[in-house]
Structure 1
Amino acid sequence: MQTLTKPILHIVSVGVSVLRNLQKSQEFQKIPGSEGREVNEWLKNKMADRAFLDMAYQALRSAPWKISAELNSMRIFLEQDRVKEVYLIATDTEAGKFCSDLIHRFLKEEHRIKIMRGSGCLPNYYRIEKICGDKGPKIAAEQFSEGLHKLFNAVVRLIRDNRESKTIYINATGGFKPEIAVLSLAGNLFLVPVYYLHETFNEVVFLPPFIPPKLFPSEVALLKKIYDNNRRIAGEKFKKIWASSASVLRRLEGFKVVEIGDDGEGPYEVRLTPQGKFWVEISQKMEETDA
């Protein structure tokens, strides 16, 4: 019987790396910074300039991994054909639109990726640079918090609407630290892996998960069983677990907390990853605190 594979959806937070890296070349040095009112006004006047937009796209197309941190973090997935659909989330600014439009075009034209409807700027979602100059710090902070709330709700809605029919990843590379935390929380609620590009190592890193015990009791119990068995289960013991809990193991594998060994004839062992070890030990400390 043929196994049907779900299409893979990446929810991508878009920052301004494209804008910042374009400015390093002589053709784009006239762009006044990458954040704030001045650059947004400048880009607003340039959005109808087809020659400028095409020049920016050709620059991105010539060096996508260098110019876009978001694309660079997706590179391994794109090269392994593990991206079928993308939903881009950018700030409701001209800079956000400029960067997301270029990434949208690249994914669609160069990789034939389906860009989901509604992708792009999230209405009334701003980062602090958009609002701090116009408002006092208290109001700016409140609006920034509201923006994070909008981001969280948007991602949760996307996951709920698509989790039954698609395998989902969250790319948090384009976010600031508060946004990465929000994206990680949304992913944890539904066991959706969250990854980003580590700038120091230039490697894709999956964020250590926190799996809520009350929401996923079967997953939690199985992780603890592997942990207590010297972080590896094989042989007859594994066969029994696989027979009763294969779907749970596959779900944990997708969340990067376990690795399933397969010798070509079928799975034969399961190993706890460093992320899985991290979560089990954190959960144990939480249980000790609650006791």
Structure 2
Amino acid sequence: MVDTLIATVGASLYVNISKDDELKKLYESERLEELADKLLDNKIKQENERMLGAEINSVESIIKEGYIEERKNLYFLVSDTKTGEKVGKLLEAYFKYSKDSSFEKVEVKKIERLDDENREDFKRYGLKNLVKSMSAILKEHGPSTIINATGGYKAQIAFALALGQGMNIPVYYQFERFPTVIKLPPLPLSLDYKLYLDYLYFIDQFDDEGFIEYTPEIANQYKVLDERLTPLFNFGDVDNVKYIELSPMGQVFIESAKQFFNLTKKNQLSLKHRKNDLIMQYSNSEEHSKKIILEFNLEDKFKKLDFIEKVYVKGGNEKEVSGKRNQVKIFGDEIKIILNTKKGTLYLGVQTTAENAEEMLLAKEKIEEFINNNF
């Protein structure tokens, strides 16, 4: 049953409001709930439905056409701009108080760096963050979700459509002169899950950051990639250092593969228990690392994960870390962990009982969940 809707957001509502002096005054003074109440007036709908903008009209069309069966969750994805934030709050109020179109939960999510005034940020981070945000919602709600890609930048349509197809999620769009939304046809592409698994050792390095330094080791790995994967990566320079980054379409590919794994493969897999005691390896000369291990009782904590055979310290620093995410990445036949604590950072290598790429993915997910719950 479809009960969750993701909607991209643009500026059409703001543009339309700006043409009406009364509505514009409410918007500029940030009396957004009062403005939402005005927009809910049937008189506006009857006299000038287009005043409501692409987002409201398309969401209400999806409801009227019966494409969503229960109105539980509505997510608005807004740009990283002042206009995006204000329009998001206005849409939230509108669908909170609407008699015919309200949802149980309406949430606005700002997409970091999705701002077309900063072209480089938009290209390198914004579109990928949009894909990540959509993917997180889709992971939470699964096949009960649909996407409305009507609002926002034109580039969002292509990525929303590609992600929807990769995750088998319907995508809807309302053209300006169309009275209702339409379901967009699929793009001429398909997800090659095996290709993702075959090159997981390379692809997973781009998780979180999205770009890494193009070292000789990375260059050698890139050179042997299947040619079907190379369009998913871009190159650039930062402070005269060459880097390689995941493109927005590369992010779509990875998120789609992860979703396929979680929905169709994960529950069929299991990890063997280690045969011997856990090995926790570190040098006594690394006093600071040793203090973190003892203070946070790391050895006993990792023993609880019975598929881990060995944990060894690769380095660390004493700099206090706050608010920085821990990282877990697959690198070849081992898993790397960057563990941030108030006492400093530890760089760990982990060997597990995983015997293939899918089991490595499962091990990674279990370690991520464990670390996030314990640190």
**TM-score normalized by the length of structure 2:** 0.44
Contact 1:17–1:69 (CA<8 Å) still a contact in 2? yes
How well do the aligned residues superpose, as a CA RMSD in angstroms?
2.6
Tell me, in whole angstroms, the C-alpha distance in 2 between the residues paired with 1:60 and 1:103: 10
Q: Distance in 2 between matches of 1:99 and 1:54?
A: 11
Count of aligned pairs between the two proteins: 182
In 1: Cα distance, 2:157 partner to 2:151 partner? 9
**What is the match of residue 26 of structure 1?**
21
Whose RCO is larger (CA < 8 A, sep 6+)? 1
Rg larger in 1 or in 2?
2
Matched, 1:92 2:87: no
Equivalent residue for 1:134? none
Q: Is the 8 A contact 1:173 1:195 kept in 2?
A: yes
Match of 1:75 in 2: 60
Contiguous gaps of at least 5 residues in structure 1: 1-5, 32-41, 132-139, 217-291
1:38-89 C-alpha deviation (Å, 9 max, x unpaired):
xxxx95xx34xxxx32442233212365312112112233234635121111
Equivalent position to 2:183, from 206, 221, 230:
206
How far has the Cα of 1:28 moved from its partner? 4.2
Give 1:206-225 correspondences, 5 Å limit: 206-210=183-187, 212=190, 214=192
1:153 to 1:9, Cα distance in 2 relative to 1, 3 A: same
* CA offsets 1:200-247 (integer angstroms, 9 cap, x no match): 33331222113626469xxxxxxxxxxxxxxxxxxxxxxxxxxxxxxx
Q: Does the 8 A contact of 1:60 with 1:68 survive in 2?
A: no
- Matches of residues 91-130 of structure 1 in structure 2 within 5 Å? 91-110=79-98, 111-115=101-105, 119-129=107-117
In 2, Cα distance between equivalents of 1:29 and 1:106: 16
Structure with the largest fraction of helix? 1
- Give % identity: 24
- Helix, strand or coil for the counterpart of 1:11? strand
Q: Aligned runs of 1:1-291 on 2, under 5 Å?
A: 6-28=1-23, 46-47=29-30, 52-62=31-41, 63=44, 65-66=49-50, 67-79=52-64, 80=66, 82-84=69-71, 85-110=73-98, 111-115=101-105, 119-129=107-117, 131=118, 140-163=119-142, 167-210=144-187, 212=190, 214=192
SS of the aligned residue for 1:198 comes to: coil
**Matched residues in 1 for 2:83 and 2:192: separation?**
41
Which of the pair is proportionally richer in strand?
Answer: 2
Name the SS of the counterpart of 1:77 in structure 2: helix
Q: Which amino acid aligns with 1:176?
A: Y
Which 5+ residue runs of structure 2 have no aligned equivalent?
A: 195-375
- What's the TM-score, normalizing by structure 1? 0.55
Partners of 2:179 and 2:124 in 1: CA distance: 30
Contact 2:61/2:180 (CA < 8 Å) preserved in 1? no
